[in-house]
Amino acid sequence: MAALALYKGRVLPRVERELERWRDAAAAIADPALRAEAQAALEEKALNVEATAVFATLAPRPTRPTAVRAMVALQVAVDYLDTLGERGADGDSEYLDRLFDAYRDSVRRLPSQAAVATVLERAVGRCGEGQAVTHAAEHRDRAGLEAWALTQEAPPVYRWWEVAAGASSSVAAHALIAAAADPGTAAAEAERIDAAYFPSIGALTVLLDDLIDRDEDAVAGAHNYIAYYDGNEHAAARLDLIAHLARSGLAGLRRSRRHAAILTGVAGFYLSDAAAESDYAQAIRERLLRSAGPAVRPIVAFMRHQRR
């Protein structure tokens, strides 16, 4: 609850100001088709930016504004590229350059950027590759997706599609930006953070996102990671296991309680969506609500209010 209060009172207002900045930048794109794509990504996926900015609650107060700027710029770029990939479209390179320049410039200003630089670059690159092969799978290159997933270093407990899902998530990068904002972060800790978030928490975010998009994706014939499971009971058991592995992985980190609160927030963000109460999703939702603990229900209520 303390993390939620900090997020709502100190982080979210800064996120909204940064989003407005990027809305202005998108509106200034000269080409009308490219402008429309950039504006659509911001409109359709603004909640993604708000949700991933919860990692700024890990940043110390003096460096938190810079961390927020980095997180927002990165996530807007990730969502823009994701939207383009979904539609098979090309984007505005100048707009993308501005986003990534803002992200990199903000990270360079953080006190422990040198300690996290290598791991952060790896996490961002992994996310980009993961999204690219996922979109290729939408165009029937599913063998390529599996082959790529099998090249990623992950514990054998994970199915290949869970590794691919985890790789395509940006959460590890955001956790590392927060680590860069902390003057006490060392390179070894950055490695531990990445291992804690990939593939478990990354997979959980993408799988839950695909859960709420399942019916829509089925109609569109779009790729969906939930479809690899043998029914909703199998999916419920696997997602519950992944959530358990995620909690275990966070236990060894500094500020593990705040990391655990963020994990609860991730679950609450997705479980608050009306689509999580579909006939298929209900078994998964109820199992995760039980295992996530009592703190998840206030977050679900808060996120439902945010979605209105």
Residue 88: pLDDT over 90: no
Q: Which pLDDT tens digit goes with each residue over 108-132?
A: 999 999 999 999 999 999 999 999 9
Instruction: Note the helical H segments in 10-141.
Output: 12-27, 32-52, 64-87, 93-108, 113-138
Does residue 217 contact residue 281 with C-beta atoms inside 8 Å?
no
- Residue 91: per-residue pLDDT: 85
Angstrom distance (rounded) from CA 54 to CA 60: 13
Q: Which pLDDT tens digit goes with each residue over 199-224?
A: 999 999 999 999 999 999 999 888 99
Whether the full predicted model's pTM is greater than 0.75, yes or no, is yes
* 2-307 CATH choice from 2.60.40, 2.30.30, 2.40.128, 1.10.600: 1.10.600
Angstrom distance (rounded) from CA 81 to CA 91: 8
pLDDT average, residue stretch 43-62: 94
Q: Can you give the residue ranges of every domain in the chain?
A: 2-307
Instruction: Specify the long-range contacts of residues 187-195, CB closer than 8 Å, at least 24 apart.
Output: 187/115, 187/116, 187/118, 187/119, 189/115, 189/253, 189/254, 190/115, 190/116, 190/118, 190/119, 190/120, 191/119, 192/252, 192/253, 193/119, 193/253, 194/119, 194/122, 194/123, 195/249
Is the bond preceding 199 in cis, omega lying within 30 degrees of 0? yes
